[in-house]
Chains A and B, each alone.
Chain A
Amino acid sequence: MWFFRCPEITFGEDALGQLALIRGKRAFIVTDPVIEGLGFVTAVQTQLCEAGLESQVFAEVEPDPSLQTVRRGAAQMLAYEPDWIIGLGGGSSMDAAKAMWIHYERPDIDPEAINPFEELGLRQKARLICIPTTAGTGSEAGYGIVLTDTENARKLTLGSPEATPDIAIVDPYFTAQLPRQVTADTGIDVLTHAIEAYIGSWANDFTDGLCLQAMRLVFKYLPRAVAYGHEDPEAREKMANAATMAGMVLGNSSVALAHALGHSAGALFHQVPHGRITAVFLPYTLQFVANGEAGRFGDMASALLLPSRDETEAADSVVTAVFQLLDQLGLPGSLKAAGIPEDQFAEMLPLMVEHVEVDANLLMSPRIPHTAEIEKLLQYAYNGRAVDF
């Protein structure tokens, strides 16, 4: 047995108007200062006013939100007592909103202890709406929460199925003006989610279709979204939908090895955004999986209209297509090309290996690497060397 959970999703042009129909008293908006400066908070508050709700804003979420930020926001939430919480922004704001919500409802639980094995009993005080402003992490549709333990330079992969948002509002208005680089960095994350969830050990009939469709949308529309931005509203809308679809598969299947490697490296090399650094690892981890005769490359390659006479050709096709897409988007194909200095990489290598080994996503890979293989994967991804083991 397994589950399939997702929020009620309102998507497409003018989806934000759905916010004017909610019932409640007070909404607590969790976001970051950039989003506030863009006027997006005002747009949300206008709809909340229409619905008769008061609102308060916490606009202090940083990229890779910390436990400290979560505790600070939760304290304000406890004082304000909202019945709706709105995570507005990229993955950082939405994940922070989920963690703050849990602490608001269960102050007895330390944010670091959030896990999917224990019942939390949420929704006694509030419900959660997520509104993504990138396309994207997919956090609006899943229950994962990625926080950073700044003291130990470690990413915490947390989550609880109860933290799946009640409502996701996926309005391309918010992504229309995304800068080119952000479009590329966040858009490629959609592909990594979709591919990993498709080949991962938790893949199932319900997530397979979403994964394949998200992959198709990324290959077709992400280059357009990067190249033409707001001048291509169709590409913007399709990428917003793809991101949410890939987000739906995150909790119902799972990401895997590329994310375990990306989390460990990303926690130490903050200068490389999550989507970009994880995407660097994607083709190398696919090579690793294919070399172990694991993975379902035939179906994937067929869905993407790539050569696929057998699994070997299919795997080669998919890996090549990923590298080509990275290149087309101006994204690096190695950690070295991502600008990580060699001496720093060498110094951090043992710590990265250690962090990968405690990342639960590692276990979702159809081929789980040993410690020595983890180190080799990191090195091969650094140097841009094809995986041969």
Chain B
Amino acid sequence: MGVPFATEAWIKALQEELNKSEGYREAAKTWEGDFYFVVTAGDGIPQDVYMYMDLWHGECREAIEVGDPSAKDPAFVMSAPVDVWRKVVEKKIDPIKGLMTRQLKLKGNMMKIMKAPKAAIELVECTTRIDTDWPA
């Protein structure tokens, strides 16, 4: 049985994968910035789900699902519907293309994001290692 997507269990599974990934640690060794990964309502998701990750120098220091989006003020907010997140995790679309086609939406300092392409790819790689249960 897999880990249901868009849940605290899933984001904590991703935290575990990131923190044991040498590739991510190396690629993100200078990264400082926290994220909301938002799964927008629809397709089996009754309301927006906010998953928070505090990413710092190659490590994920905190990963939780947040009920009230005002609870945190992350540097970046990336949002998409569940089918787009699934394509990213299954590597059917790379995150840069996802952003350029506006399927993935990102708020935050774009200059900083553009300087960390490898970290983004390693993060996606870590998501692929989770046995994910997708909403029906």
Q: Which residues of A contact B (CB under 8 A)?
A: 1-3, 112-113, 115-118, 161, 201-202, 357-360, 362-363, 368, 370-371
Contact = CB atoms under 8 A, between A and B. Distances in A.
B114 interface: yes
Nearest to A356: B118
B99 to A, nearest CB: 4
Contacts of A360: 96, 114, 117
Interface residues of B, number: 20
A118 B96 CA distance: 12
A81 B110 CA distance: 28
B63 to A, nearest CB: 24
B110 A357 contact: no
B27 interface: yes
Q: Is the interface of B mostly helix, strand, loop or mixed?
A: helix
A334 B25 CA distance: 32
B100 A359 contact: no
Nearest to A358: B115
A363 B119 CA distance: 11
B136 interface: no
28 contacts: A1-B101, A1-B103, A2-B97, A3-B101, A112-B111, A113-B110, A113-B111, A115-B111, A115-B113, A115-B114, A116-B100, A117-B99, A117-B100, A117-B110, A202-B97, A357-B27, A357-B118, A358-B116, A358-B117, A358-B118, A359-B117, A360-B96, A360-B114, A363-B94, A363-B96, A363-B117, A363-B121, A370-B26
Nearest to A110: B111
B26 A371 contact: yes
Contacts of B106: 117
Q: Is the interface of A mostly helix, strand, loop or mixed?
A: loop
A331 to B, nearest CB: 29
A368 B99 contact: no
Interface in B73-118: 94, 96-97, 99-101, 103, 106, 110-111, 113-118
Interface of B: 23, 26-27, 94, 96-97, 99-101, 103, 106, 110-111, 113-118, 121
Contacts of A359: 117
A113 B99 CA distance: 15
A370 B99 contact: no
B121 to A, nearest CB: 6
Given A357-B27, A363-B121, A370-B23, A118 B110 contact: yes
Contacts of B97: 2, 202
Contacts of A1: 101, 103
Most chain B CB within a 10 A radius of its CB, from A161, A358, A359: A358
Given A1-B101, A161-B100, A363-B94, A115 B117 contact: no
Q: Top 7 nearest A-B pairs by Cβ distance? A: A115-B110, A117-B99, A360-B117, A358-B115, A363-B117, A113-B111, A116-B100
A360 B96 CA distance: 9
